[in-house]
A and B are shown apart, each in its own frame.
Chain A
Amino acid sequence: MNWETVIGLEIHAQLATKSKIFSGASTAFGAAPNTQACAVDLGLPGVLPVLNRGAVLMAIKFAAAIDAELGRRSVFARKNYFYPDLPKGYQISQFELPIVGRGRVELLLENGDTRTIGVTRAHLEEDAGKSLHQDFHGMTGVDLNRAGTPLLEIVSEPDMRSAREAVAYARKIHQIVQYIGICDGNMQEGSFRVDANVSVRRPGEELGTRTELKNINSFRFLERAINFEVERQIELLESGGRVVQETRLYDADRDETRSMRTKEEANDYRYFPDPDLLPVELDDALIAEATADMPELPDARRQRFCDQYGLGAADAQQLTASRALADYYEQLVAVCGEAKMAANWIVGELSGALNREGLAIEQSPVDAGALGGLLQRVVDNTISGKIAKQVFEAMWQGEGTADAIIEARGLKQITDSGAIERIVDQVLADNPEQVANYRAADEKKRAKMIGFFVGQVMKASKGKANPQQVNQLLRGKL
């Protein structure tokens, strides 16, 4: 008998504000412990929260991006529990009335199908600090720099049916929040965190008991964690056991999930409206301001890339994966004028180099203008595509602009037909046997065999001979 997997995701996106959600302390990553925890973040007696306008604008933007209902009147509530990284003994969050209501995103699956995933809600809340478990004489150290960083918690419907779909959805949200500039998306630094609610059931039956998976800091681990958990639940159920509703941590080293082993204490968070904050009312002016600089969203941009640049769906998908990459592409096209060639270079050479060094597109040592300069030389026949790859490597190593490298290394393509003809003659003279074979062969075989001569000529010219001319001359002489 088969099982159906049901997955819903809770995504915490740290909002890219300068200051915290309820205080004027900086949100910059990596500061010395507790140097960015101000009186409000520490929950000193007497302090009060004041809501950051920037965080509200970002939430509105997100709502627009996923076509969601806006909570015109939303309310902050206190979620009460004790933990050392939670200074006030409560987290300010939203409960009954969130700022973003029901929305949806469309996923383009690998087989080309689309699938719509519902977003139940998204709400603003404050992040907690961090407990550092390295040993301080048997004590834990608490750093509250992160406490009060604004989060948008994005809760999906249990609409996903496989780990792959869950990853596709998470990537989609990741792509959107980066596109609209509300989150830097850095999963290693914890700017974008994904928790998964996973259950299994027999098709058509009621939802099974779910577990919540935490501590997942990459998309790869998200897929693995869900797959492990699904198998665990199925094995458990098939051997007559039952799934316990609990939180489980994903351990990437062992590739498994394990129970958090907290005491069996039902959480009772005692939510109630925070009396220090008033209802947030969104008026038309604020909404207009938030959405005024709304960029083109990824789906629309992907479609435009197909229409405007004549790209295939796969290339368009890859090139719009992030806003920075799509921007790079469009700048590149603007400089070199060749949409297809630009796409091939980004998908090929550039992505290869970036992956090799583990760099993001923003960190590329060769920017779109520089790469465009190189491609222009291919377009105007100064160099061949093959030589261009050499020049690219040199540019990557910081040796200068394309023109400077071509000049310095003497890589300009030989287009002087006299010069090429001399090389061709030499090659034919050096390879009499192959020439004889060629001449004896039929048309079909000849088409293959000519490659040998082209190769020899290119080799002799150190790749600089214009390939079209070489071909033409060879055919004539043979």
Chain B
Amino acid sequence: MTLKRTEVEKIAHLARLQVTADELDAVAGDLTNILDLVAQMESVDTEGVTPMAHPLHMAQRLREDEVTESDQRERFQAIAPATENGLYLVPKVID
């Protein structure tokens, strides 16, 4: 299976990764090679096999409904690229 440039563009957009026109062919080639490796799965009959999402057969543990965290905004925003008045800043969002 060969990935087309348009398909790479589509998934790069979904993943919000800039892939320049120059890079597209190389990326498509790499991804195609990986998909060829993965294609070995096709030969396996998995009819009726339960998908395994987790190695362990455990159920979700539940946390008591208690407030345990206190305000650490200053610490957390010290590592942020852009903040003002306690808000994180991003380029204008248009709804």
Contact = CB atoms under 8 A, between A and B. Distances in A.
A353 interface: no
A143 B73 contact: no
A132 B87 contact: yes
Interface residues of A, number: 52
Contacts of B88: 34, 84, 141-142, 144
B22 interface: no
Contact of A139 (B53, B58, B76, B90): B90
A180 B4 CA distance: 54
Contacts of B66: 18-19, 24
B77 interface: yes
B69 A280 contact: no
A50 interface: yes
Interface in B44-95: 53-54, 56, 58-69, 71-73, 76-77, 82, 84-95
A207 interface: no
Interface string A137-152: 0111111100000000
Interface stretch (A38-46, A166-174, A435-443): A38-46
B54 to A, nearest CB: 6
Interface stretch (A53-61, A103-111, A407-415): A53-61
B14 interface: yes
A275 B54 contact: yes
Interface residues on B, range: 35 or more
A144 B82 CA distance: 15
B36 to A, nearest CB: 22
A51 B62 contact: yes
A181 interface: no
B63 A53 contact: yes
A214 to B, nearest CB: 10
Given A51-B60, A51-B62, A249-B95, A33 B87 contact: yes
A37 B73 contact: yes
Interface string B12-30: 0110100000000000000
Contact of A34 (B62, B68, B76, B90): B76
B76 A42 contact: yes
Given A19-B66, A278-B54, A278-B58, A37 B76 contact: yes
A139 B92 contact: yes
A35 interface: yes
Given A33-B85, A35-B86, A42-B76, A140 B92 contact: yes
A340 B65 CA distance: 42
Nearest to A57: B65
A34 B69 CA distance: 13
Contacts of A265: 13
A24 B76 contact: no
Chain B binding site: helix, strand, loop or mixed by DSSP?
Answer: loop
A478 interface: no
Nearest to A81: B14
Nearest to A73: B59
B59 to A, nearest CB: 4
B61 A138 contact: no
B82 to A, nearest CB: 7
A293 to B, nearest CB: 15
A97 B77 CA distance: 37
Interface string A246-276: 0001000000000011000100101001010
B71 to A, nearest CB: 4
Given A53-B64, A139-B92, A142-B90, A23 B84 contact: no
Contact of B14 (A35, A261, A268, A275): A268
A316 B14 CA distance: 54
Nearest to B86: A33
A18 B65 contact: yes
Contacts of A138: 91-92
B90 A84 contact: yes
B68 A39 contact: no
Contacts of B65: 17-19, 52-55
B85 to A, nearest CB: 7
Interface string A384-396: 0000000000000
Contacts of B82: 139
Given A34-B77, A278-B58, 16 more contacts: A18-B65, A24-B63, A34-B88, A35-B71, A38-B69, A44-B76, A54-B64, A56-B62, A75-B53, A76-B60, A136-B87, A138-B92, A139-B91, A278-B56, A278-B61, A281-B60
Interface of B: 13-14, 16, 53-54, 56, 58-69, 71-73, 76-77, 82, 84-95
Interface of A: 17-19, 23-26, 32-39, 42, 44, 50-56, 75-76, 82, 84, 131-133, 136, 138-144, 249, 260-261, 265, 268, 270, 273, 275, 277-281
9 contacts: A17-B65, A19-B68, A19-B69, A24-B67, A32-B73, A37-B76, A42-B76, A53-B63, A278-B60
